[in-house]
C-alpha cells in the first residue's frame, strides 16, 4: 500500500477491531468541520474575543457584559452547529461495541447530538445553564436570553453556562473517568487535540504508560505526535474518520501490514 494515510488508516482499524476497551479523546479539532472554530491558534476565538469575558471573577462582577459575549458565541453562533462525520462515526463505533468511552475537551454537545452516550466532558457543556444560587440546571432552550443576564426561574439567582470558566476547577467526575480510561484502554484514539491544555494533556501520556496503542488524527503534528503517538493519521477529523469507518466496518479487513483479515 503506497499511500501513507491509507496504510495508517488500515493499521488503526486493525488495532481498533481487536481492542477490548477503546477510548476516544477529543478536542476542538473534531468540531471544526461542524463550523466551530478552535479557541487557540491563528483562526482561534481568542484572536477575535477577549478571554477575560470567560474569567469567573469577571463574570461574577460583570455578568451582563460577560453574557453579551457568551450569547453571541455560544448560542447565536455555536447553536447552529451540527455533528460531522467524526462525531457520527464515534457514535456508530459505540453502537457496535467498538468504543467504550469518550473523553472530550469540547463543550458543544455534538457528541450527544450524534448519538454517543458514554461521554465525559472535561470542560462542561454550553447547552446547559446552572443557577449559582440553588444549583438547579436548565437546558439553554428553556431559558429566554432576551434579557441579560438570565435569571433562575425558581429562585432568581444568576444563571451561568455550565462549562468551566478560567479560574474554575475541572469537575472531578470527568477527571476520574479520564484517569480510569487511561488505565484500562487497549487503544486511545486522539482526535483534534493538540496537547496544549492542562490537565487534559496529561491523559494520553498516562494511557501510553499503561500500554495503550495511541492513534492520533490531526491535520498537523501535535505535542503528542512525536512523544506518545503510535499511528498518526494526518487530515481533517471528519474526512479521516469517514475513511477509517469504511475500513473498520468492512469484512474482511484486508491489506494491513499485520496480515490479519
Where in the chain are all domains bearing CATH 3.40.50.1220?
1-36+82-123+170-256
Answer yes or no: are the C-beta atoms of 30 and 106 closer than 8 Å.
yes
Output the tens digit of pLDDT for each of the chain's 261 residues.
457 788 999 999 999 999 999 999 999 999 999 988 776 666 667 667 788 989 999 999 999 999 999 998 888 777 778 999 999 999 999 999 999 999 999 999 999 999 999 999 999 999 999 999 999 999 988 999 999 999 999 999 999 999 999 999 999 999 999 999 999 999 999 999 998 888 888 999 999 999 999 999 999 999 999 999 999 999 999 999 999 999 999 854 444 443 333
Residue 186 vs residues 76, 84, 172, 178: alpha-carbon distances, Å = 40, 26, 24, 14
The span from the CA of 122 to the CA of 172, in Å, is 9
The span from the CA of 103 to the CA of 68, in Å, is 29
Element (H, E) at 163: strand 159-163
Tell if the pTM clears 0.85, that is, is over it. Answer: yes
Given this model, what pLDDT does residue 4 score?
79
User: So which residues are the catalytic ones?
Assistant: 123
Query: Cis peptide before 149, with omega less than 30 degrees from 0?
Result: yes
Cβ-based neighbours of 184, under 8 Å, separated by 6 or more: 21, 23, 210
CATH T-level topology, domain 41-80+124-163: SIR2/SIRT2 'Small Domain' (3.30.1600)
Cβ-based neighbours of 142, under 8 Å, separated by 6 or more: none
Do you know the residue count of the chain? 261
Where in the chain are all domains bearing CATH 3.30.1600.10?
41-80+124-163
CATH class, range 1-36+82-123+170-256: alpha beta
Torsion angle of C-alpha atoms 204, 210, 211, 215, degrees rounded to 10: -10
Amino acid at each position: 500500500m503506497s499511500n501513507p494515510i491509507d496504510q495508517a488508516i488500515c493499521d488503526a482499524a486493525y488495532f481498533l477491531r481487536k481492542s477490548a476497551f477503546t477510548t476516544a479523546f477529543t478536542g476542538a479539532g473534531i468540531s471544526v468541520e461542524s463550523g466551530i472554530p478552535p479557541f487557540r491558534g491563528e483562526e482561534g476565538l481568542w484572536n477575535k474575543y477577549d478571554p477575560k469575558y470567560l474569567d469567573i471573577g469577571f463574570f461574577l462582577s460583570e455578568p451582563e457584559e460577560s453574557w453579551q459575549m457568551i450569547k453571541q458565541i455560544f448560542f447565536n453562533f455555536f447553536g447552529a452547529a451540527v455533528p460531522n462525520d467524526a462525531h457520527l462515526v464515534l457514535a456508530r463505533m459505540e453502537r457496535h461495541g467498538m468504543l467504550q468511552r469518550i473523553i472530550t475537551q469540547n463543550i458543544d454537545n455534538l457528541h450527544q447530538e450524534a448519538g454517543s452516550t458514554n461521554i465525559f466532558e472535561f470542560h462542561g457543556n454550553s447547552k446547559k445553564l446552572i443557577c449559582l444560587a440553588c444549583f438547579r440546571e436548565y437546558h439553554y432552550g428553556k431559558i429566554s436570553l432576551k434579557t441579560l443576564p438570565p435569571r433562575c426561574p425558581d429562585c432568581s439567582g444568576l444563571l451561568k453556562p455550565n462549562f468551566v470558566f478560567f479560574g474554575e476547577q475541572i469537575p472531578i467526575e470527568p477527571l476520574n473517568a479520564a484517569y480510569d480510561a487511561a488505565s484500562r484502554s487497549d487503544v486511545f484514539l486522539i482526535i483534534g487535540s493538540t496537547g496544549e491544555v492542562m490537565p487534559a494533556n496529561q491523559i494520553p501520556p498516562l494511557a501510553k504508560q499503561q500500554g495503550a496503542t495511541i492513534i492520533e488524527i490531526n491535520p498537523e503534528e501535535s505535542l503528542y505526535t512525536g512523544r506518545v503517538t503510535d499511528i498518526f493519521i494526518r487530515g481533517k477529523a471528519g474526512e479521516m474518520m469517514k475513511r477509517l469507518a469504511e475500513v473498520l466496518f468492512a469484512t474482511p479487513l484486508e491489506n494491513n501490514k499485520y496480515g490479519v483479515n
